[in-house]
C-alpha cells in the first residue's frame, strides 16, 4: 500500500505562486508514475502534470510554461510549482500514484482570486 499526503494549497491572488507537495509513504518502490490532477466545482477531474520514475514529464496545455512538476526521490516527495496563477486554476488538487494499484491523496484546495 501507498499513502499520499498533499500540502501547500491556499488562497493566492492572480499572478501569484504556490508550491504543492505530495509526500509518499509505504511501498513507494512500486510507484512508476506520479501525477497531479485537479477538480473544479462542477467539472471532471483532469490531469495537470505527471512525472515518471525516470523524470520524464508531461503537462496539460493549460498549464504549460506556468507549472513545473518535480520529484525528490530521497524524500519520496513530488512537487508542483505553480506560477502566474489564474482564477481558472482554482480547484482541489490531488496527487495520484500509479504502480500495481492507483493511489490518491486527500486533495488540497487552491483558490486564485481575481
- pLDDT digits 0-9 by tens, 8-57: 999 999 999 999 999 999 888 888 899 999 999 999 999 999 999 999 99
Record the cell numbers describing residue 12, joined without a space: 493566492
The answer to whether residue 59 scores a pLDDT higher than 90 is yes
The answer to whether residue 62 scores a pLDDT higher than 90 is yes
Which DSSP letter does residue 74 get?
T
- pLDDT above 70 coverage of the chain, percent: 100
Collapsed DSSP state (helix, strand, coil) of residue 42: coil
Q: What is the mean pLDDT of the chain?
A: 96
Q: What is the pLDDT of residue 27?
A: 84
Asked whether the beta carbons of 99 and 72 are under 8 A apart, the reply is: no
Q: Which residues pair with 9 in a beta bridge?
A: none
Amino acid at each position: 500500500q501507498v499513502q499520499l499526503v498533499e500540502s501547500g494549497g491556499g488562497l493566492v491572488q492572480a499572478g501569484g505562486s504556490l508550491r504543492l507537495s505530495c509526500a509518499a509513504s509505504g511501498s513507494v518502490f512500486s510507484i512508476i508514475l506520479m501525477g497531479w490532477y485537479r477538480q473544479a466545482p462542477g467539472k471532471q477531474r483532469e490531469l495537470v502534470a505527471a512525472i515518471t520514475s525516470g523524470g520524464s514529464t508531461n503537462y496539460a496545455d493549460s498549464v504549460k510554461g506556468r507549472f513545473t512538476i518535480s520529484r525528490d526521490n530521497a524524500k519520496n516527495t513530488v512537487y508542483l510549482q505553480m506560477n502566474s496563477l489564474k482564477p481558472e486554476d482554482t480547484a482541489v488538487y490531488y496527487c495520484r500514484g500509479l504502480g500495481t494499484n492507483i493511489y490518491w491523496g486527500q486533495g488540497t484546495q487552491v483558490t486564485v482570486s481575481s
